Chains A and B, each alone.
Chain A
Amino acid sequence: MTHTDYTITIRKGGTVLVDMQGFVLPPGRITFLFGESGIGKSLTGKALFGLLDPDDLTATVNGQSYETYRASAAARKMRAKGFFVFQEPSSHLNPLMTLQEQLDEAHSDTAGLSPILRALWQGSEDDDLRDLLRVYPKPHRPSGGEKQRILCAMALHRMMTTPDLGGTDEALFVFDEPTGSLDNRYRDVVLGLIAEAFRRRPCTVLIITHDYSMISMVTEHWHDIRDRVAFTEMTLTEEGQRQKAFAPDTYISWIRKLQPLRPTDAGEAAAPAILRVEPSHSVFGRDLTITGRDSRLPHPLTIAPGTMAYLKAPSGMGKTTLAKMVMGLVREGRFSATLGGIHLSEKTHRSTWEREIWGRKAAMVFQHADEALNPRSRVSEVFDGLPGLTISREEVGRRVLAFIGGDSEAGFLERRAGSLSGGQKQRLNILRSLLLETPLLILDEPLNGLDFASMKNVLDLLHERLARGQGILLISHNEEVFDALIPAKDLYYLTAEPS
């Protein structure tokens, strides 16, 4: 790579998708690129690697046409010797070849793969792994996390074993949200393996993510290569996208200063619980139990006014499904709960939720903001039809602009939800539920896709809601933040019921 400083523009029809000036990618270093979802991080990475579809998008890199850039010797070497781990791994894997065949095809020397695969499937038997590698990638098998680990294994193997990486400045390895479908345990394993591969053979690595907790992992465990790691953040300005250095201490000191959102209050015990979910329930025929933090014994999940309960479990265990059962959206299971004095179970008629619960006693923020908003609704229309809204449409608009930060942009309220960045959608998604002021708020991954500043804003709002007596049920993979914020007595675990 002869260039370390890139100017990239990407257009689709008449719309400018990326207008990035001064994107720095130092050779022989690991660069973390943070930033909220949907502002162009992945597109920038793909443009650099030469992966954009010229039929779909018009792009220039450093003033050259995209065809010229792709055909340049530097870009060709970057691609040939490097690797791109896609955010959505299904798009990379060939559905007509087994995973093993694809691993073998990518590498002539497959001996080095086994230790990487074993590390990425810690706790699994070799037989299970062999069975998995015989699978053809289909939409639901293997899982998103398994596909992501397969791609990471391919990239890591290439980093560790390719005979001619061409020094530190030729190959480029891009990891686009490499841990997006993984829980914290496997996130740490993947990051550890990237560091190990880099120690063996330093090369240029770009890690695109909105998971700021990676900073803690790097500062705690990557001492020897810390000086070769750069943290940067992509922001959207009026002139387009910009990359700026992100001081890791900003995040680390913020995390260290976090205090429980609400200190233990003896008085709250006297207040009747807003929500109580009995510990034993079943989801799609699978028996599950809620336990408290200090005990492996079943423990009902209770939320008193002004408290936030944090429900934890590995990915896919059924946290979101339990929340949807409480909200009457999933009926294929067994549960028992009391919400605002109303007893709820799988037998409760849907009209109870319609009349008493939805938007009145409880509201829920869905996990994926992309899917939780009607993409064809204008920003101002997202709030139409909310029950019991006491503020005017103008006031709603003012709050939207204040919370989402679109106040400098003319006509922001008239933009379609589908055209917003992922972070803006997520804030809109949260704000819709917050405006309702229901006694209970269920938050499913509320920090997904947010940049650092927006994360802090959301947490401030939650703090304010708790102070006003709202109860919150939280589901989040962002343990680093919420473990610091939520008192131990309000932590709950979801486990498979012991036989």
Chain B
Amino acid sequence: MPMRDLGSRQRIPWLLVRLTRLVTDSPDRLWAGLWILGIGALWAWDAAFLNRPAYLRLQAAFVNTMAGATLTVLFTLVLGWSAGLVLDSLSRRSSRIPYLLLTFTLSLIRSLPQIVGILIGYVLLTIFIERDIVRSTYLHLIWTALLISVFTFLELTDLLRERIDQYRKTDFFNAMLCCGIPERRIINVDVLWKNSLAHIFQKLIATFGMAIFLQCSIDFIISVGLSMDVSLSNFPPTLGSLLASLDSKQDILAIGVALGRPGYAGELLFRHLQGISVAFLIVFSLVCMYKISNGIVRRYRL
């Protein structure tokens, strides 16, 4: 019903109904909207009350973190999709050796805790930086994203293989095969693109959240330093590295102070804005990604 047909007294229930529908039917959209709103509100607040150098650092850290997470999603998609197709193809060959070799290699990656694997990768990255192989911020971000995606793509691979195996049993898969339609096309177009897009999208949203978490965790951990010549200051700023800086740590400690002295709480939003903003961006983004991912599951009944 168009809004213009409604009087102001009717608009409130109408809005409530729309809002209730949004919450119940599309929680992913609701949380995506909340995420953008939350980030926007923080941006406006920081623009008004955070000092200029800190504001620029925070901005760069946020952009780098989001760019890193987006690149991770991209690499995860490419690696996960390729591995899924290659595994599926090898599993149908008469010779089992290539399939077993690839499965063994992937199992090795799977057996390594993500955070340990990425730390080892950071050591490698440090060597590259020391030898001047990796110089620019872009290359840093690309390497970091590639590194994280090596430890996240297997979840996508598992999902794709599960979908392919499920659809192999259906009549439409076999009916298309019998008509001579190439199996690659059936898998890529009919199974994965047309029937699994929501599943894949949900997994990539979860990967995005996971990438933020892993990147921040690792940056925080390596704030102790990786080598004599390379430290966090050689890396592009991210939310993790910014959280690990002395200023931010003091800001976070101030939360504890405010818990003991409630009158001090107001100061958190003005005097300790850098650390509070970084912590908020990390936690709020992770919560929103989790909610968006679950919302997709609910909306598409995955």
Contact = CB atoms under 8 A, between A and B. Distances in A.
Chain A bound to chain B = yes
A293 B94 CA distance: 41
A436 interface: yes
Interface in A331-372: 349-350, 354, 358-360, 362-368, 371-372
Given A374-B194, A377-B190, A366 B92 contact: no
B196 to A, nearest CB: 10
B181 A386 contact: yes
B195 A374 contact: yes
Contacts of B174: 324, 329, 366
Interface string A378-418: 00000011111000000000000000000000000000000
B128 interface: no
B228 interface: no
Given A377-B190, A385-B185, A433 B179 contact: yes
B2 interface: no
Interface residues of A, number: 32
A31 interface: no
Nearest to A358: B180
Contacts of A359: 178-181
B171 interface: yes
A327 interface: yes
A349 B181 contact: no
Given A373-B172, A385-B185, A360 B178 contact: no
Contacts of B259: none
Given A350-B92, A371-B170, A385-B185, A377 B194 contact: yes
B195 A436 contact: no
A376 interface: yes
A307 interface: no
Interface majority SS (helix, strand, loop, mixed), chain B: helix
Interface majority SS (helix, strand, loop, mixed), chain A: loop
B171 A354 contact: no
A430 to B, nearest CB: 11
Contacts of A324: 174
Nearest to A365: B175
Contact of B175 (A349, A373, A376, A436): A373
Interface in A428-466: 429, 432-433, 436
Contact of A376 (B180, B185, B195): B195
A220 B176 CA distance: 42
Nearest to A350: B92
Contacts of B267: none
Among B179, B185, B186, B189, find the residue whose CB has the most chain A CB atoms closer than 10 A.
Answer: B179
A364 B175 CA distance: 7
Contacts of B182: 385
Nearest to B174: A329
Contact of B172 (A364, A374, A386, A433): A374
B171 A366 contact: yes
A366 B179 CA distance: 11
A386 B189 CA distance: 14
B123 interface: no
A135 to B, nearest CB: 26
Nearest to B194: A376
Nearest to B180: A359
Contact of A363 (B92, B172, B180, B194): B180
A329 B178 contact: yes
Given A377-B190, A377-B194, A429 B175 contact: yes
Contact of A374 (B92, B177, B190): B190
Given A368-B171, A376-B194, A376-B195, A432 B179 contact: yes
Contacts of A433: 178-179
Interface in B177-230: 177-183, 185-186, 189-190, 194-195
Contacts of A364: 175, 178-179
Interface of A: 324, 327, 329, 349-350, 354, 358-360, 362-368, 371-377, 384-388, 429, 432-433, 436
Interface of B: 92, 94, 170-172, 174-183, 185-186, 189-190, 194-195
Given A324-B174, A363-B179, 15 more contacts: A329-B177, A358-B177, A358-B178, A358-B179, A359-B178, A359-B179, A360-B180, A364-B175, A364-B179, A366-B175, A366-B178, A368-B171, A384-B185, A385-B182, A385-B186
25 contacts: A349-B94, A350-B92, A354-B183, A358-B178, A359-B179, A364-B179, A371-B170, A374-B172, A374-B194, A374-B195, A375-B172, A376-B190, A377-B194, A384-B181, A384-B185, A384-B189, A385-B176, A385-B185, A385-B186, A385-B189, A386-B181, A433-B178, A433-B179, A436-B179, A436-B180
